[in-house]
Amino acid sequence: MHLLHVMSHQSDTRPHIGPETRRRVWTFASPYRSLIIGFLGVVTASSVLGVVPPLLFREIIDGAIAEGDRGQLTVLGLLVVGAALAQAVLSFFERWASATVGEGLIFDLRVALFDHVQRLPVSFFTRTRTGALVSRLNNDVIGAQRALTGTLGTVVANTITALTTLVTLFLLEWHITLLAMVLLPLFILPARRVGRTVAGITREGMNLNATMNATMTERFNVSGAWLVKLFGRPDDERDGFADSAGRVRDIGIRNALFSRTFVIALTLLGAIGTAVVYWVGGSLAINGTITIGTLASMGVLVALLYGPLAQLTNARVDVMSAFVSFERVFEVLDAPNPVADAADAVDPHPVQGHLAFKGVSFRYPAANETSVASLETDTAPGEPGRMVLHDLDLEVGPGRVLAVVGPSGSGKSTLASLIPRLYDVTDGSITLDGRDLRSLRQDDLRARIGVVTQDPHLFHDTVGANLRYARPDATNAQLDDACRSARILDVVRALPEGFDTMVGERGYRMSGGEKQRLAIARLLLKDPAIVILDEATSHLDTENEAAVLEALAVVLSGRTSIVIAHRLSTVIEADEIVVLDDGRIVERGRHAQLRDAGGLYADLWEGLVRDDGQAAPITD
C-alpha cells in the first residue's frame, strides 16, 4: 500500500527547466563548437548510410532476384556490407566526438563549480550541509555528464536518422508514408507530460540522496562517530537513515515504472504502425501498384523510423532529468558572494601592518545574502539582522600587540574574522596602512596574515604536507626550524615516519597540544606580517605553553598582532587590552590599569585566578 501511495503521489517540486538553463549549457559547450559541427557531419553521413541497405534490398528483390542475375546480386550484397562497414567506422568517430564534447564540458563545469564554491565566504559554509554540497559537486555533475556523453549523441543521431528515413519513405511511396505519419503525434505528445513528471521525480530523488550524503558525512567523521557511540544511538541512526533510503527506493521504483510504461506504449505504437504499413502496402502490392521489393524496403524503413522516434521521445525524458542536474549545479554556481574582490582591487604590498577599525559594526548575513536555500541548515552562527559588533574604533600600530578579551559571545572571534575578510563589515571600515581592506585583493591580503585558532584544522595528509600548505616550496631544513621554534620537532621525529606520518582526519591522531603546535609551526613557515592568535595556546599544558610563548615572542616581534582572549600571561604583556561585552568596547588600556579600574576586566581577572595565585585561561 505504501508503494502504491508513493506511485500515485505527484512531486510537490515542480520542474522549471526553461530556456535560460539550456542557454547556459550551450555557453559551457561553446568552446567545442568545431568539434560539435564535425560530430553533426559524421552523424548525418551515418544516417544517410543507414537508409542505403533498405534501398539495396529493394534492388536485390526487384532486380537481381527477379532477373536471376547472380553477378548483380553479388555486387549489391557487397555494397550492403560496405555500407555497414562504413557506418561502423562513422559510429566510432561519432562516439569519440560525443564523448570528447561531453567529458570536456563536464570537466569545465566541475572545475568552475569547485572554484566558485571554495571562493564563497565562510558564511556560506556555516549554513550549508557538507554532504549535500558534495552531492552537488559529485552526483549532479555525474548526472549531467551521463546525459551529455550518452544522450547527446542519441538525440542528434536519431533526429537525423528519422528525418533521412522519412524523406526516403516519401520518395518511395508517399501515400503509405502519410499513413505512417498519422501515429507520429502519439509518439510526441505524451513525451512532454512524462518528461515533466520524471524530472520532478528525479529532483526529489536527488534531494533525498543529498540528505543521505549529509547524514553520512556528519556521522562517519571522527567527531560524529564518537557522539553516536557515546550517546548509544546507532539503532536510531540506522532507522533514520533507513527512512530516507526507503524513500529513495520507492522513488526509484516509481521512476522505473513510469519509464517502462512509456517505452512499452511506444513499442506497441511502433508495432501497430508497422503492421498497418504492411497491410496497406501488401494490398497495393497485390494490386500491382507497388513492387514487392518496394514493400520490403518500406517495411525496413518504417521500423527504422519508429525506432528513432521511440528513442527520441524517451530521450526527451532523459534530457529533462539531465537538465535537473544542470539546474542544481547552476543553483550553486549562482550562490551570491558578498565578499568579492573589487574590480580595481590591488595588492597591499608593501605592508607595514597598521590596522585601524573605524566605526565598525557587523551582523551575520541573512540566508538570501550568502547561501543556497536547498543546501541550508536550520541554524547558523549569529542572528541575521542583529548586530554582533557595534561602532568599534580600534587602532593597532606596526609591531604592536592588541589583546581582545571578554565573556563568551562578546564578539572577540568575530572581530578577528573581519581582518582577513572572512566576512566584510556591515558598517564602517577596516584599513591596513590607510587602505580599506575591501580595496585589496583577498589572496594578497590573506598571504600577509597568519591565524592560529583554538581548534586548528589539519588535513587528512602527512605532517609535512600540512606544514607545506603554508609554504609549498619549504625545504626540510625550514620544516625543522619551524617545528623547533614551535617546540614540536622532537614529537615529529619520534613519529613512526617523521614528517611523512599521516595525521588522520582533522588531525585526530595528534593530541590537542600537538595539533596546536603544528599549527604554530605552519604559521611560522608562512612568515606573515600580521598575526592573529585566537585561543592559540588553549590546549597546551603549563610546560608546553611556556616554551611556545617563548617562541611566539620572537615570532611576534615586529609584527602586528591580535591576541584573542587566550592565557592571561600573554594578555598581561599586550601593548593594549580591549574588553568587549555584547559587541561593544567597554574598557581599554593596559593590564595593571584595567585590573585596578574594578570593571569587567577586573572581574574576569579575579574570577580566573587560582587559589595559589596562578592565572587560569580566559575562555572564549
Q: What is the model's pLDDT at position 43?
A: 82
Is there a single domain that holds both residue 28 and residue 110?
A: yes
In a domain, 339, yes or no: no
Going by pLDDT thresholds of 50, 70 and 90, the confidence category of residue 420 is: very high
Going by pLDDT thresholds of 50, 70 and 90, the confidence category of residue 185 is: low
CA–CA separation, 155 vs 187, rounded Å?
A: 15
Q: Which domain holds residue 588?
A: 399-425+435-448+528-620
Going by pLDDT thresholds of 50, 70 and 90, the confidence category of residue 543 is: low
Beta strand 355-363 with 387-396: parallel, antiparallel or unpaired?
A: antiparallel
Is there a single domain that holds both residue 80 and residue 57?
A: yes
Going by pLDDT thresholds of 50, 70 and 90, the confidence category of residue 556 is: confident
In a domain, 10, yes or no: no
Q: What is the model's pLDDT at position 389?
A: 95
- List residues bridging with 346 in a β-sheet: 440
Is there a single domain that holds both residue 196 and residue 256?
A: yes
Going by pLDDT thresholds of 50, 70 and 90, the confidence category of residue 16 is: very low
pLDDT, average across residues 263-273: 73
Domain finish residue from 471, 492, 527: 527
Domain finish residue from 492, 527, 562: 527
Going by pLDDT thresholds of 50, 70 and 90, the confidence category of residue 567 is: low
Q: What is the model's pLDDT at position 569?
A: 60
Is there a single domain that holds both residue 421 and residue 567?
A: yes
What is the sign, positive or negative, of the torsion defined by CA atoms of 338, 344, 346, 352? negative
DSSP-derived 3-state class of residue 148: helix
Is there a single domain that holds both residue 131 and residue 202?
A: yes
Q: What is the model's pLDDT at position 2?
A: 37
Q: What is the model's pLDDT at position 324?
A: 75
In a domain, 132, yes or no: yes
Contact between residue 401 and residue 575 where contact means Cβ atoms under 8 Å apart: yes
Contact between residue 310 and residue 263 where contact means Cβ atoms under 8 Å apart: yes
In a domain, 376, yes or no: no
DSSP-derived 3-state class of residue 517: helix
Nearest to 507 by CA among 467, 463, 537: 463
Domain finish residue from 527, 554, 580: 527
In a domain, 61, yes or no: yes
In a domain, 415, yes or no: yes
In a domain, 4, yes or no: no
In a domain, 290, yes or no: yes
Higher model confidence: residue 541 or residue 29?
29
pLDDT, average across residues 222-250: 76
CATH number of the domain that residue 595 is part of: 3.40.50.300
Segment 71-110, tens digit of pLDDT? 888 888 898 899 889 988 988 888 888 788 878 888 888 8
Q: What is the model's pLDDT at position 541?
A: 67
Going by pLDDT thresholds of 50, 70 and 90, the confidence category of residue 317 is: low
Amino acid symbol at 173: E
pLDDT, average across residues 326-331: 83
Total of domains in the chain = 3
Higher model confidence: residue 590 or residue 245?
590
CATH number of the domain that residue 46 is part of: 1.20.1560.10
Q: What is the mean pLDDT of the chain?
A: 79
- List residues bridging with 449 in a β-sheet: 530
Q: What is the model's pLDDT at position 581?
A: 92
Q: pLDDT > 90: what percent of the chain?
A: 15
pLDDT, average across residues 557-582: 81
Taking the whole predicted model, whether its pTM rises above 0.75 is answered as no
Helical segments of 334-418, H only: 367-370, 412-418
Is there a single domain that holds both residue 162 and residue 277?
A: yes
Is there a single domain that holds both residue 415 and residue 486?
A: no
Q: What is the model's pLDDT at position 478?
A: 92
Segment 131-167, tens digit of pLDDT? 778 877 777 777 776 666 666 667 777 788 888 888 8
